[in-house]
Chains A and B, each alone.
Chain A
Amino acid sequence: MKIVAAKKLIVKANDADAPVSGDVTIALTNISKFYSGVPALRDVSVEFYAGEVHAILGENGAGKSTLMNVMSGTIFPELGDVTFEGKRVTNMSPEIAASLGISISFQHPAILEDLSVLENLQVALPAALFAGQSAQAVAQKMLDAVGLHIPLRTRADELTVAEKHLLEIAKALAINPKVLILDEPTASLDQDATDMLFGRIRDVVKRGTSVVYITHRLAEIRQIAQRVTVLRDGRKRGTGLVKDFSDAEILAMIVGRTLGSAFPPKSKNTATESAFSVVQLGGKGFSGVSFDMTRGQIIGVAGVAGNGQSELMRALAGLQSSTGTIKLDGLNLKSKELLQEAAFMPSDRHSEGLASGLSVRENASFAALEKFTTNGIMSQKKELSGVAATFGSLAVKTASLEAPILSLSGGNQQKVVMTRALLSDPRIIIADEPTQGVDVGARAEIYRILREVSDKGTPVIVNSSDAAELEGLCDKVIVLSRGRVVDTLIGADVKEAHIVAAAVNAHGHADEGGTANGVKATGGWRHFLQSDNAPAVPLSLVIILLGLFVFSQNTNFLSVFNIYNILMLATALGFIAMGQTVALLMGGIDLSVGPLVGFLVVVASFFINDDKSVATIAMGFALMFALAFAVGAINGILIRFANFTAIAATLAVYVALQGMSFLLRDQPDGYINARVVELVTWQWGPLPVAFIILVIFAVVGEYLLRQSKLGWQLRATGSDEESARRIGVWTDGTFVGGYILSSLLTACGAIMLMTQIGVGDPRQGVNYTLASITAVVLGGTSLRGGRGTFIGTVLGAVLLTEVLNTVTFLGLTQTYQYIFQGLLIIAAALIYSTVRRSAEA
C-alpha cells in the first residue's frame, strides 16, 4: 500500500489539471497466470484509480483479455493478489465481482437474440433496479444514457452489431459500477456513437468510477484515457500517465516482442507479371480492397483482429460472396470456382479445419480422394503413399497414420491441414492465422512450407494478427482497419513497427451497420407481426374458415355437441403440447410425453375407481403428478448431467414408460370413477370447463414467459446457452426444471385423457408425442429454441383436433388423418422457417 500511496502523490504532483484521481479501487499485485505451463501473464501489477480511465494496450495475445478475466473473476490466477478497495479478494468469481460493483462489457456482447431489448435488460440486471417504477421507464433511461434509440420491444436479433454493443454497454453502466471494464467497446461504433460513449465514460468517471479501457487504438487513448499500461508477451512493459508518453514511446512498448522462430529468406523472384489480383473487392465486413501479387510473393493481411481480415480471407477462398474482381493467372474467378481452386486453411482449426472423429490419414486425404482411386475404387496403397509423401516433406510427426487426429500437437494438426491443402493441388493458398496455437518449432516449419509453396509458383495469402510474423514471412502486407485497406507495405517497409503503427493509428470508423439507429421505430401492427404471437392470427383464421367449410358440407359440425367434443379432445392435447412447448423453448424436445400420458392414465386406473375412497382417489392424483415430476427430472438429468442428447434421453424414457404401462396392465382394465369423469368433463354451453382452464393456463403461462424472471431465463437458455450463462442464468437448473414442467403439464393432459378413455389402457397415449409436436410447430414455436408461445400452441392443438374431426365428418378414411397431420406439420415448419429466413435476410 505504501507504493500505491507514493504513486498517488506523484500523480498529483505532476498533473495538476488532470481529473482528481481518487483512491485505488482495484489493484492487481504480481499476477501470474499459466496455461498448461505457458505463462499468459507474468508478474503483472497494476492499480486502477477511482475517477480515472485507465487504458490497457497491447497486441493480440499480449495478455489483455487474461488480465480482464482475472479482474472479473472468470479466471483465477496461479500467483498474485487482487485487492478491492484495500481488501484482498481471495476467491474472485463473476458473482462476487458483480456484488462488489465490477461490471464488464464484453467484446462479444452477451445479448440474447430471441429476447426483446427490454427483456435483455431485465434478465441480466438485478430486479431491484426496476423496482418502484415501470420497467419501461427504467429501461428507457438506460438506453437514453447510451444514446440508443430503439423501441424497447424490438427483438435483439434486429439490432446491428453497433447497437448490440451499445446495449451491452448500457447493461454495464446501469448498475452504477465502481469498476467498469470495457473491452474494445468502439470496435463497431461510428464516430457519433464513439463520441457519445466517450461522453458517458467521462460522466461515470466524474462520479468516481474506475474505468478499465481495453483497446488497440492509440488515437482513442489520447481522447479518453488518463493513464495507460502496455502489455507485451504477458509482461507489463510500461505504465504511467498518457500525457507523459509520446505516440512513438507507446508504440515502442507495444512492438518488439521476441519471436524465437526462424524465417525462410524472402522472395528473390523479380517477375512482374501478376499471378493473382483483386480489384475493388467488397463483401460483408470489408470493402474496396485491391491488391496484386506476382509469382513467388507471399502477401500478408494485417490489422487489429476483427477489422474484416477473416471475412476477406473467406471471400478469397470462395466461402463468402463478394463483389469486385478476383483474377487468378489472368482469369476472372467467381466464388464457386474459387472454392474449388483455392485451398483454405481456416483459423479455427477445431471447428472448421479438422474432422475430429477421423484419423490422421483420413483428415489429410479427404479433399483429394479422387486422386487415390483405381477404377473408381479407393486404393489404400495410393492413398497411403500419397499422404506419406506429403507428410514426409512437411515433417509431420505422428505415431501412426491411423492415430486419432486430436492426439497430435497443435503444430502437427496444422501440418495435416496443410497436407490436405497441398494434396488437393490448389492454385492458390489462403492461410488464415496459420500459426495460431502452434508451438515455436512447428512455426518455423510452417513458414518454410509456405515459402516453398510460394517459390514453386502458387500464390500464398496469409492473414495474421501477429505483425512480427508478417514481417518475417511476407513480401508485401496490406493493413486493414474497419474493413478497408489503410496501408500497403512492400519490401523493406514490411516491418512490425510499420504494420502496428498503421493498424493502431487508423482513425477510420465503421461506416457499414455502424449507425446507432438501424432499427426504425415500428408501429404496433408491424411489431405484432414480428412477435412470437403473430401466428395466432392466421391460425385463428384457418380454424374458423375450416369450420365454416365443413359446416357448409355438414351442418352438424358446428353443433354444440361437436364443438364440445372437439374442444374436449383439444384440451388433452393442449396441455401436453404446452409441456412440449417448454421443451422446445429450451432448444430441446420431449419425445416421452405420449407414453407418459398413457402411463399416468394406467396408474390412475388403479386408484381413481368407483369403489375407491376419496382419500385413495386424491392419492391417485398426487401419485400422477409425483410420477410426472420424477420422469421430467430423469429426462432433465440424463440430458444435462449424463451426456444424453434430448432425443436419446426422451426416446429411452419413451420406450421404458411404454414397457411400464404394459407391465402394470397387459389388458385394458380399471374403470375411472364416474364422479371424477363428470367433474372433469363439466360443460358450460358448448365449452368444456376444462378448456377454459387450459386457456387460463396458456394466458398465465404466456404472461410468465414474457414478464417473469423465470420466463426470461427459460427463453434465454434456449436462445443462447453460453450468453445466458455469462449473464448469470443457472442453465443446468433451468433445463431440468423445464423438463419437469413439461412432464407436469403432461400430467394435466393425462387427467383429461383419463376421462376420455375411461379405463386404464396401456395402448393409449403414444400418439400424443407426434400430435403434441405437430400442435407446437403449428403454433409457431421455433425449433431452435428461445422463441415460442403457449397461446399459439393451444390454437395449434385446436386446429389439429379440428382437422382430425373433419376427416371423420367428411367421411374420409384414416389415411387422410395421417396425411393431413403429416402435411400440416411439414407445411407449418416450411412456412415458419421461410418467414423467419426472409425476416432475417
Chain B
Amino acid sequence: MNQHSTITSSYSGLRSISMLPLARSFVTVVLSTVVLIIVCSIFAPSSVSLGALEGSLPFAAVIAIVGLGQLLVVQQGGFDLSLPGAVSLAVVVSTHYPQQDNSLLPMAVVVALGFALVAGVINGILVSIFNLNAIIATIGVNALLYGAVFAVSGGVPSITTTLLAEIAGGTTFGIPNSVFFAAAALMVVSFMLKKTVMGRRFEAIGANPLAAQAVGLQVRRHQMMAYVLAQLLYCMAGILISGITREPTAFQGDTLLLPSVAVVVLGGTSLLGGRGYPISTVIAAFFLNQLSQFALAVGVPYSAQTIIQALALGFGIGVYSVRWTGNSSKQTKNVKMEDTNDLQVS
C-alpha cells in the first residue's frame, strides 16, 4: 500500500481527465489500425489510395454506426440479434415508400424512425420487464422486422431516391457524407455516456447492475433505453445504406450483424457487459473495413470476406480476454475466495 501516495486535498490537481481506462483498448485498436495502414501501403497500395478510401469509407461509416448501437446493448450485458431486420427495414422503408420521389423522402425517414422506436421498445420490454433472454427476444423481434420488410417490399429491391443518394452518398470537402453522419453518431453517443447524468448512470448499471440496484438506480429503464437507442442507430445506418447503394436489397442488414459484434469486441468492450468504448468501436469499424479492402486487394476472393471477419472477431476476443479475465467466472471466483480468506484470518 505504500506505493499509493496519500492524496487528500491534492485530488483537484488531477483535473486533466486521465486516459487510463480508455488507454488500453484505444491504444490497441489505434496501433492495429496504423500497422494495417502501413501493411496496406506496402503490399496493396491501391487499397489506401484516395479513390479506394472514398469508395470504402461509407461502408466503414455504416459499420461504425451499427457497431455503436450494438455497443449500447452489449454494455448492458445484452445482445441484439434484431440488427439485420432493423437495418433491412430502414432500407426498404426509405426506398420503397418514396419510390424515387424526393418529396416523399422526409416522410419515409419519419416512418422508418417510427418503426425503429417500436422495435426498440418491444425489445426493451421483453428483455427488461419480462426478463426474457436477450437472444430469444431479439431473434423473435428480428423475425417480426423481416415480416415488415416483406410487407413493405415483397422482398424485391427498389431504386433509391436521388435526394437520399445525394445526402448519404455524396461528398463534402472530398469526404463522404456518411463519415460525417458516423462522426455525429459517435459524438452524440460519447457525449451522452460521459456528460449526462443518464449516460453516467447507464454506464454504472452496465458495469454492475446489482451495485446500481443497491443504490436505487432505475436499472430496467436504462436497459430498455439501450435497445431503443440501438434501434435508432440501426435505422440511421439503414437509411445511409439506401443512399450509398443504388439499388439496395431487402436483406441488406444480414451482412452487418457479425461486423457489429466484431467492432464492439475489437474496440475493447466485453461481451459480458460493462464499460463501453465508443471511440475505439468506431476506429475498429475502420480497421475491419480496411482489413476487407486489403484482403480484396491482395486477391482473397470476396466469398472469403466473412472468414476474415470471423478471424478478426476471434482475434479481438483473444487479445482482450487476457485483459478481461476479471469478468470471467473463474477469475471472479478467485477474487471472492481471497476475500473470504481474508475474512477467515481477520
Interface of A with B (CB < 8 Å)?
35-36, 38-40, 60-63, 65-66, 233-234, 317-319, 339-340, 343-344, 346, 348-359, 362, 365-367, 369-370, 373, 376-378, 380-381, 384-385, 387-389, 391-392, 395-404, 406, 408-410, 412, 420, 424, 435-439, 466, 589, 638, 642-645, 647-648, 651-656, 658-660, 662-663, 666, 721, 762, 770, 773-774, 777, 783-784, 813-819, 821-823, 825-826, 829-830, 833
Residues A378 and B321 in contact in the complex (CB < 8 Å), given A340-B216, A362-B200, A829-B132 = no
Q: Does A655 contact B310, Cβ atoms closer than 8 Å?
A: yes
If A437-B346, A819-B147 are given as contacts, then 9 extra A-B residue pairs at C-beta distance below 8 Å, sorted by A number, are A319-B214, A351-B208, A355-B207, A400-B18, A402-B17, A644-B321, A660-B307, A818-B143, A819-B143
CB A796 to nearest CB in B, in angstroms, measures 13
Interface residues on B, range: 35 or more
Residues A826 and B126 in contact in the complex (CB < 8 Å), given A648-B265, A662-B303, A815-B150 = yes
Contacts of A436 in B (CB 8 A): 339, 342-343, 346
Tell me, in angstroms, the Cα distance from A783 to B132 when the chains sit together. Answer: 9
Q: From the candidates A351, A401, A652, A774, name the one contacting B313 in the complex (CB within 8 A).
A: A652
Residues A369 and B306 in contact in the complex (CB < 8 Å), given A234-B345, A777-B136, A825-B140 = no
CB A658 to nearest CB in B, in angstroms, measures 5
Binary contact track B134-161/A, C-beta < 8 Å → 1, others 0: 0111011111111111110011000000
Contacts of B8 in A (CB 8 A): 391-392, 395
Q: Does B258 contact A424, Cβ atoms closer than 8 Å?
A: no
Q: From the candidates B126, B196, B311, B340, name the one contacting A376 in the complex (CB within 8 A).
A: B196
Please name the residue on chain B nearest to A61 by beta carbon.
B344
Please name the residue on chain B nearest to A773 by beta carbon.
B139
Contacts of B130 in A (CB 8 A): 830, 833
Q: Does B15 contact A380, Cβ atoms closer than 8 Å?
A: yes
A-B contact pairs, 26 of them (CB 8 A): A36-B341, A60-B343, A61-B344, A63-B345, A350-B335, A351-B208, A353-B211, A357-B21, A362-B200, A365-B200, A366-B201, A366-B217, A367-B216, A391-B8, A392-B7, A438-B346, A642-B317, A642-B321, A643-B325, A654-B310, A814-B150, A818-B144, A821-B143, A823-B144, A830-B126, A833-B130
Q: From the candidates A60, A352, A369, A410, name the one contacting B342 in the complex (CB within 8 A).
A: A410
Q: From the candidates B136, B204, B270, name the one contacting A773 in the complex (CB within 8 A).
A: B136
Tell me, in angstroms, the Cα distance from A369 to B3 when the chains sit together. Answer: 30
Q: Which of B36-44, B94-102, B167-175, B271-279 makes up part of the contact surface?
A: B271-279
Tell me, in angstroms, the Cα distance from A356 to B154 when the chains sit together. Answer: 48
Q: From the candidates A344, A376, A380, A770, name the one contacting B197 in the complex (CB within 8 A).
A: A376
Please name the residue on chain A nearest to B269 by beta carbon.
A357
Q: Does B313 contact A369, Cβ atoms closer than 8 Å?
A: no
B188 at the interface (CB under 8 A from A): no
| A-facing residues in B300-346 (Cβ within 8 Å) | 301, 303-311, 313-314, 317-318, 321, 324-329, 332, 335-336, 338-346
Tell me, in angstroms, the Cα distance from A412 to B6 when the chains sit together. Answer: 11
Q: Does A409 contact B1, Cβ atoms closer than 8 Å?
A: yes
Q: Does A63 contact B344, Cβ atoms closer than 8 Å?
A: yes
Residues A403 and B345 in contact in the complex (CB < 8 Å), given A663-B304, A829-B133 = no
Q: Does B345 contact A656, Cβ atoms closer than 8 Å?
A: no
Contacts of A819 in B (CB 8 A): 143-144, 147
Tell me, in angstroms, the Cα distance from A647 to B132 when the chains sit together. Answer: 16
Tell me, in angstroms, the Cα distance from A396 to B203 when the chains sit together. Answer: 23
Q: Does A437 contact B339, Cβ atoms closer than 8 Å?
A: yes
Q: From the candidates B11, B147, B313, name the one contacting A648 in the complex (CB within 8 A).
A: B313
- Chain B interface mostly helix, strand, loop or mixed? helix
CB A447 to nearest CB in B, in angstroms, measures 14
Q: By CB atoms of chain A within 10 A, which of B7, B210, B301, B340 has the most?
A: B7
CB B312 to nearest CB in A, in angstroms, measures 9
Tell me, in angstroms, the Cα distance from A409 to B338 when the chains sit together. Answer: 12
Q: Does B332 contact A388, Cβ atoms closer than 8 Å?
A: no
Q: Does B214 contact A346, Cβ atoms closer than 8 Å?
A: yes
Q: Does B197 contact A829, Cβ atoms closer than 8 Å?
A: no
CB B71 to nearest CB in A, in angstroms, measures 14
Q: From the candidates B21, B139, B200, B216, name the one contacting A369 in the complex (CB within 8 A).
A: B200
Q: From the candidates B211, B304, B324, name the one contacting A643 in the complex (CB within 8 A).
A: B324
Please name the residue on chain B nearest to A391 by beta carbon.
B11
Binary contact track B203-230/A, C-beta < 8 Å → 1, others 0: 1100110111111110000000000000
CB A471 to nearest CB in B, in angstroms, measures 15
Tell me, in angstroms, the Cα distance from A658 to B302 when the chains sit together. Answer: 12
Q: Does A437 contact B343, Cβ atoms closer than 8 Å?
A: yes
Q: Does A392 contact B9, Cβ atoms closer than 8 Å?
A: yes
CB A281 to nearest CB in B, in angstroms, measures 19
Q: Does A384 contact B14, Cβ atoms closer than 8 Å?
A: yes
Tell me, in angstroms, the Cα distance from A822 to B86 when the chains sit together. Answer: 14
Q: From the candidates A400, A406, A666, name the one contacting B14 in the complex (CB within 8 A).
A: A400
Tell me, in angstroms, the Cα distance from A676 to B116 when the chains sit together. Answer: 47
Tell me, in angstroms, the Cα distance from A398 to B6 when the chains sit together. Answer: 7
Residues A366 and B215 in contact in the complex (CB < 8 Å), given A377-B195, A663-B301, A826-B140 = yes
Q: From the candidates A344, A642, A648, name the one contacting B215 in the complex (CB within 8 A).
A: A344
CB B108 to nearest CB in A, in angstroms, measures 19
Tell me, in angstroms, the Cα distance from A643 to B305 when the chains sit together. Answer: 24
| A-facing residues in B266-303 (Cβ within 8 Å) | 270-272, 274-275, 301, 303
Tell me, in angstroms, the Cα distance from A40 to B211 when the chains sit together. Answer: 30
Contacts of A424 in B (CB 8 A): 215
